[in-house]
Amino acid sequence: MAGGGFDSAESSGSSRGKKKYHKGKKLGVRIDMTPMVDVIMLLLTFFMLTTTLATPQVMQINLPKGEETDKVKVDMGNVLFIRVSGAGNIYFSLGKSDGSEMLPERIPFENLRKTLESYFASNPNLLMLIKFDRKMKYNNMVDILDEINRAKIERKYSFLPMEEIDIQIVTAAGG
CB 84 within 8 A of CB 148: no
- Structure confidence at residue 38 (pLDDT): 93
- Structure confidence at residue 141 (pLDDT): 86
Q: Is the pLDDT of residue 8 over 70?
A: no
- Structure confidence at residue 125 (pLDDT): 84
Q: 151: helix, coil or strand? A: coil
- Structure confidence at residue 39 (pLDDT): 94
Distance CA 86, CA 80 (A): 20
- Structure confidence at residue 15 (pLDDT): 57
CB 129 within 8 A of CB 158: yes
CB 127 within 8 A of CB 73: no
Q: Residues 6 or more apart from 137 whose CB is under 8 A from it?
A: 88
- Structure confidence at residue 144 (pLDDT): 86
Q: Is the pLDDT of residue 123 over 80?
A: yes
- Nearest Cα to Cα of residue 100 among 116, 118, 81, 83: 81
**Single pTM value for the model:** 0.57
* Per-residue pLDDT reduced to its tens digit, 135-171: 888 888 888 888 888 888 877 788 888 888 888 888 8
Q: For domain 77-172, which CATH number applies: 3.40.50.970, 3.30.420.270, 2.50.20.10, 3.40.50.300?
A: 3.30.420.270
Angle 138-150/112-122 helices, nearest 10 degrees? 50
**Maximum alpha-carbon separation in the chain:** 126
- Structure confidence at residue 2 (pLDDT): 57
Higher pLDDT, 47 or 20: 47
* Per-residue pLDDT reduced to its tens digit, 37-95: 999 999 999 988 887 665 666 666 676 676 766 677 777 888 888 889 888 888 988 88
Rg over alpha carbons for the chain, rounded to the nearest Å, is 39
Q: Where are the domains of the chain?
A: 77-172
Distance CA 105, CA 90 (A): 8
Distance CA 119, CA 102 (A): 14
Q: What is the 3-state secondary structure (H, E, C) of 45-76?
A: HHHHHHHHHCCCCCCCCCCCCCCHHHCCCCCH
